[in-house]
Each structure stands twice: as structure tokens, then as C-alpha cells.
Amino acid sequence: MASVVITGVGSYAPNKILTNSDLSKIVDTTDQWICERTGIKERHIAGDDEACSDLAIKAAIAALADANVKPGEIDLLIVATCSGDMPLPSTACLVQHRLGIPAHATSFDIAAACSGFLYAMEIAYGQILTNRYKCALIIGAEKLSALTDWTDRTTCVLFGDGAGAAVLRKVDQSGIGIIGSDLGADGQFVDKLCVPAGGSRKPASAQTVADRAHFIRMNGREVFKSAVRVMDQVAREMLEQHHLTADQIDLVIPHQANRRIIESLSQSLKIPLDRFYINLDRYGNTSAASIPIALAEARRFGRIKPGQITLLIAFGAGLTYGSALIRW
């Protein structure tokens, strides 16, 4: 029996750091409010000369080096993002060309917001397991600062820029690597978190620009409630499906949106908070990049050891959601 394993991980965050106190000079907010309500202290912000693909490439180079895999060996490239360089072509095409990944590799983007990395992982997992592809590079990359309304204090304090990546391939050993993966999407919540303009529904016009409709709009309270409910549900279902109890999970890597959401999950699942990897205080919410950045850090900081089980849990605009189990 074969398994699909993560053979390398990497991440990148732009140098510029925007602290809560910097934000309090832009909008009517305070460090105390942001810390208490979200747990975020600072976030990385890309420069004007850095686009989503630039962040993606840096994370990918780190992941390829960690996996000891050359770009020429990649035959499947997936970039999860909602802030790609351009509406078309895909950011994956830009990454493929600049990284020197062969043109015969299948390269495409996934739009599943903050769950995007788990969507990419599920697809790569299935395709490798069925021998369609040999070696996948999956990337979650976001320049959310470009979609952020810097005059809206209810959203601009939440988001940040960054990228994380992983290399996946098959091994002839059973029961390791990705041992479970499950995804979902509930479109009834579309208007709770969206960028209203810039697509075919409301193409860019002087009016959409004047309405600030190219930026993220969110009903924070509604999204919060859905996130708490959905993350708990998908985590429970994943554990049940694989006959695991909460105390068998060594580390939970949740989507990094709000510390209170993670605390609530820790309580409902009865997994102590010290078994959750939390870095949102330093990154904010980086959407599709959030889980792979945390994964790469957790590996780097020795929080993941051979034989251990990690549970990944995501939710995002859509409302999309997903979970995955990895045995290292």
C-alpha cells in the first residue's frame, strides 16, 4: 500500500511589519482592542513591487529546498489564492515559468479563500495516489493588503500578506502522510465575506471604485459564528471517520483568523490550547497562506516529530471549509 507524504515545506513573509500601533494612526482603533478581540499584534505587508506570485515563489523555493526536489521534477503545481497577480492568467502560470517548472506540468489556481491550501492538498493527494502525477508543489499565497480597505477599521486590522508551500509525493509505505482529507462549501454565506466588484457581476467602473467595492467586505459577527460552528464540526467528523480521539492529536494547525475562534475550538474539542499552533499574533489572517505558513513554522520550530499526528482545519469565504490529518 502506498501513501502520499509532505516531503518539504517552506514559507515567506514580506519584510515590512505593520503593528497595531501603526494601524491606530491610520484608523480609529487601539492596540488593546485589536489584541483583545483578535489576538493579532502585527502583520507583514508586501511592498508595491511585490505581487502574490513573488511571495509564492519565495515560499516555493524554500519548500523545494526542504524536500530536496528540483523544479524540473514537479508535474503538478497548484496555487491557492484570492489575491492573484491578475484576473488572468493564473498566478500558477507566472510561478511555473519563473521557477523553471516544466511546461508539461499541470499548473492552475484554486479559489477557495482561506481553505484554499487544503483544497489544493486534497486534489494533489488524490492525483498522486492514483498515479496521475508524481510530484506536486502546492502553494498558498496572498497579498491581501491589495484587497484591504485601509479606511475600514472593522476589516483592515485583520489581514496580512505571506505565502507557504509544500511538496507532495508518493511513498511505498502505508498509513503515513495524508491519512484523511475532507472539504466542503456552503454558498448561502457568500455575501458575509466578499469583494463585491471587479468580477463579471460588477466589472470595474468609476462607480465601483468610488464605492470602494474592490475591497473586502465582511460581516464579522456572522463569519465568527459560522467559523466556530464549522471548524468544530469538521474536526469532529474527521476524528470520527478515522477512529481517533482528541488526545491522539499531537498538534492542531487551524486557520489563523482570530485567537478567540481558536480558543473556542480548543474548548469544544477538549484539546488544550498548547497543542494548537498559533502564529496569528505575528501574521494576522493571511487567508490561503495561513495554514502552510503555520505548518512550515511548526516544522521549523520542532513542533512536529516523526510518528505524530497533525490535524489541519480551515474555513473561509464562501463559506468554504476543510480538514486534513497527517501522520509524520
Residues that bind ligand COA (CB under 6 A): 29, 33-34, 37-38, 114, 153-154, 157, 193, 218, 220-221, 223-224, 227, 257-258, 285, 316
Which CB sits closer to ligand COA, 38 or 310? 38
Instruction: Look at the block and give the residue holding cell 514537479.
Output: 74
Q: Which three cell numbers stand for residue 118?
A: 487544503
Classify strands 135-143 and 161-171 as parallel, antiparallel or unpaired.
antiparallel
Give the number of other CB atoms < 10 A from CB of residue 182: 15
Classify strands 161-171 and 177-185 as parallel, antiparallel or unpaired.
unpaired
Q: Please give the single-letter amino acid code of residue 207.
A: Q
- Are the CB atoms for 254 and 313 separated by under 8 Å? yes
User: Which residue blocks in the chain are alpha helix, DSSP H?
Assistant: 20-23, 31-38, 52-67, 91-99, 116-129, 153-156, 206-210, 220-241, 259-269, 280-283, 290-300
Q: Which three cell numbers stand for residue 189?
A: 454565506
Which CB sits closer to ligand COA, 205 or 267? 267
- Are the CB atoms for 265 and 228 separated by under 8 Å? yes
Which CB sits closer to ligand COA, 40 or 135? 40
CB of 253 vs ligand COA, minimal distance in Å: 15
CB of 174 vs ligand COA, minimal distance in Å: 35
Which CB sits closer to ligand COA, 33 or 108? 33
Which CB sits closer to ligand COA, 38 or 96? 38
Which CB sits closer to ligand COA, 221 or 305? 221
Q: Point out the residues that are catalytic.
A: 114, 255, 285
CB of 328 vs ligand COA, minimal distance in Å: 26
Which CB sits closer to ligand COA, 29 or 310? 29
- Are the CB atoms for 69 and 8 separated by under 8 Å? yes
CB of 151 vs ligand COA, minimal distance in Å: 12
32 to 22, 207, 218: CA distances (angstroms): 13, 36, 22
Which of 318, 256, 254, 323 has the alpha carbon at shortest distance from 286? 256
Q: Write down how long the chain is.
A: 328
- Are the CB atoms for 311 and 188 separated by under 8 Å? no
CB of 39 vs ligand COA, minimal distance in Å: 9
Contacts of residue 95, defined as CB under 8 A and 6 or more positions apart, other chains included, come to 53, 56, 57, 60, 77, 79, 101, 107, 139
Q: How far is CA 32 from the centre of its chain?
A: 26
Residue nearest to ligand COA (CB): 220
